Copies of this chain bind each other. A is one copy, B any other.
């Protein structure tokens, strides 16, 4: 048996209460092709937050327990309980990705070579002091890379790379991104600048626009501008972008993007005019839910359009093992440049349960991102 360590758990009870707690779990002995990693850095991504707090009303939050085993509870509104049906009364570990040091290995030569190495890891249950994983779920990091630098190798970098990859495989040559000043959006700008891909960034205020202009973004459009649609159409004529990745989801934005694409195609002078709409396929993929309202589509852009959901894992499955490995290798190669992540605060597991910290990181504000070091102070 390996060491026992703390692991964060999220539980929604059938009675309508969310409980986040820390439990002591024994670390499994690694199998032949497995390693045990001491996790030193694991980010709080929006996708983790969804699982961590569910649909709980965080204005009802209460802290209890001890310093070493804090507990946080909150009420889940009755109206949202049906959406939680699939996870009721299950104590769920959280945390999609992280990085740490290999402290124990199985018997195979492949894993023995990893002993003492710093590795980026993925696969869930990362908000824990120790994690036993298959070697295939580890990405060994170059010497001189800290766990904090390698903590976010998967979700944001692979999602951003996946967007440009999907753009190419679906026959587009430029792309649109919304909520574009996010950590992910900044990464996407760096990729596009490096790869000479035209990217149209849509943001929601002037501060976000200046963040992007400061890192060299060429097309930045504020959706709150009175001339938003004209500016967007002009940028689409200039770039020829016919695919968008939208983190907002609700409201009219996806529809506005499709309309502006159609207007840009008709104004480009490149295609014959058709009164049934252009024959150029226009695509918007929704990959986030910053606006939980319904998506409102005003169908005024012909029939060559698509709207759909987009998720990293099915996309990686679609491009296969070789494609995924190529993307992962690029992340490692450019970890301190293109794919560098920044965090506003590093917290321990217990500090991650402090209501004052929760109040900040659940806001998912641009530029506010927390990193958990489960072995902080150890």
Which residues on A are within 8 Å of B, measured CB to CB? 51, 83, 86-87, 249-250, 255, 273, 275-277, 279, 286-287, 289, 294-300, 302-311, 314
User: For chain A, what secondary structure do more than half of its interface residues adopt (helix, strand, loop), or is it mixed?
Assistant: mixed
User: Closest Cβ of chain B: how far from A8's Cβ, in Å?
Assistant: 17
The answer to whether A311 and B276 touch across the interface, beta carbons within 8 angstroms, is: yes
Contact of A275 among B51, B298, B299, B314 (CB under 8 A): B51
The answer to whether A294 and B255 touch across the interface, beta carbons within 8 angstroms, is: yes
Q: Please list the 5 inter-chain residue pairs (A to B) with the smallest Cβ-Cβ separation, ordered nearest first.
A: A303-B309, A306-B308, A303-B311, A295-B297, A307-B307
User: Closest Cβ of chain B: how far from A87's Cβ, in Å?
Assistant: 6
The answer to whether B86 and A275 touch across the interface, beta carbons within 8 angstroms, is: yes
The answer to whether B286 and A299 touch across the interface, beta carbons within 8 angstroms, is: yes
Residues of B within 8 A of A87 (CB): 275
The complex places the Cα of A104 from the Cα of B296 at a distance, in Å, of 53
- Residue of A51, A273, A308, A310 ringed by the most chain B CB atoms within 10 A: A308
The answer to whether A299 and B309 touch across the interface, beta carbons within 8 angstroms, is: yes
Residue of B nearest to A317 (CB): B279
The complex places the Cα of A250 from the Cα of B298 at a distance, in Å, of 8
Residues of B within 8 A of A295 (CB): 296-297, 299
The complex places the Cα of A307 from the Cα of B300 at a distance, in Å, of 15
- 22 chain-A/chain-B pairs, Cβ below 8 angstroms: A83-B300, A87-B275, A249-B299, A255-B294, A277-B309, A286-B299, A287-B303, A294-B297, A295-B297, A295-B299, A297-B307, A299-B309, A303-B309, A303-B311, A303-B314, A304-B309, A304-B314, A305-B309, A306-B306, A306-B308, A306-B309, A307-B308
Contact of A307 among B83, B287, B306, B310 (CB under 8 A): B306
Residues of B within 8 A of A250 (CB): 299
Residues of B within 8 A of A298 (CB): 294
Residues of B within 8 A of A296 (CB): 294-297
The complex places the Cα of A162 from the Cα of B289 at a distance, in Å, of 34
Residue of B nearest to A92 (CB): B275
The complex places the Cα of A296 from the Cα of B299 at a distance, in Å, of 11
